[in-house]
Amino acid sequence: DAGVIQSPRHEVTEMGQEVTLRCKPISGHNSLFWYRQTMMRGLELLIYFNNNVPIDDSGMPEDRFSAKMPNASFSTLKIQPSEPRDSAVYFCASSLRSGKDEQFFGPGTRLTVL
Amino acid sequence: GENVEQHPSTLSVQEGDSAVIKCTYSDSASNYFPWYKQELGKRPQLIIDIRSNVGEKKDQRIAVTLNKTAKHFSLHITETQPEDSAVYFCAAGFGTASKLTFGTGTRLQVTL
């Protein structure tokens, strides 16, 4: 298995632009998590899905952030409009329910908003 | 919601010595406690985890202990090696495939 796949790996954009981050979970996993990592705030959970349904989005910082999971093999995290304070590494992770809790992280997307 | 505190934020040990990282959590309902290792520029990876029905778990040089009454758990690394140098995160969660609340991380440096 290729593991969790994220794209792009690096994104540099200007303030005000729309940014879309993509994630493909491990095949067969039915839970998907989006995290943001910064030096100041550490590793924060933004939102997670079970069976493609958003369960908890309380970590989404504001309305500029939105996430979707249209099917079991794809999820997006969108920021519109982006701001410099959104600069961070965004990780996607997936796990298999039914008693197995390990979350497998993707390689992350390093976002820089100028 | 859950709050996880982690100490120390940085830890320097000599090769061969032991390292201990401690975490406390606030929600008594939490029952799953994983530890992740993150090397520079890499993704976090699970190194060991423990459930609340177990007090201790060991895997070669790594062990984790859990005190449910005091709501704290610790990571112990024995016979440290330079490749153990990384940032270690503790986390707490509830249920299966549940959301995890992460600690702020401990940067471990193993010196020769």
pLDDT tens-digit readout, B42-56: 999 999 999 888 889
Contact call for B44 and A105, based on CB within 8 A: yes
Nearest CA in chain A to B102: A43
Degrees to nearest 5, angle at CA B100 with A85 and A28: 105
> In this predicted model, which residue has the larger pLDDT, B11 or B32?
B11
pLDDT score, position A11? 97
pLDDT score, position B33? 94
Contact call for B43 and A105, based on CB within 8 A: yes
pLDDT score, position A107? 97
> Is B10 exposed, middle or buried, given 0-12, 13-18 or 19+ CB atoms closer than 10 A?
exposed
Mean pLDDT of all residues in B96-111:
88
Residues of B in contact with A47 (CB under 8 A): none
The amino acid occupying position B2 is E
Mean pLDDT of all residues in A73-97:
95
Nearest CA in chain B to A33: B99
Mean pLDDT of all residues in A67-83:
97
Do the Cβ atoms of A25 and A1 come closer than 8 Å?
A: no
pLDDT score, position A1? 63
* Minimal Cβ distance to A31: which of B1, B32, B97: B97
Residues of A in contact with B32 (CB under 8 A): 101
Token duo for residue B62 = 């790594």
Is residue A101 within 8 angstroms of chain B, CB to CB? yes
Average pLDDT of chain A to the nearest whole number? 93
* Minimal Cβ distance to A45: which of B99, B103, B104: B99
Query: In angstroms, what CA-CA distances link B103 with A6, A103, B60?
Result: 24, 16, 24
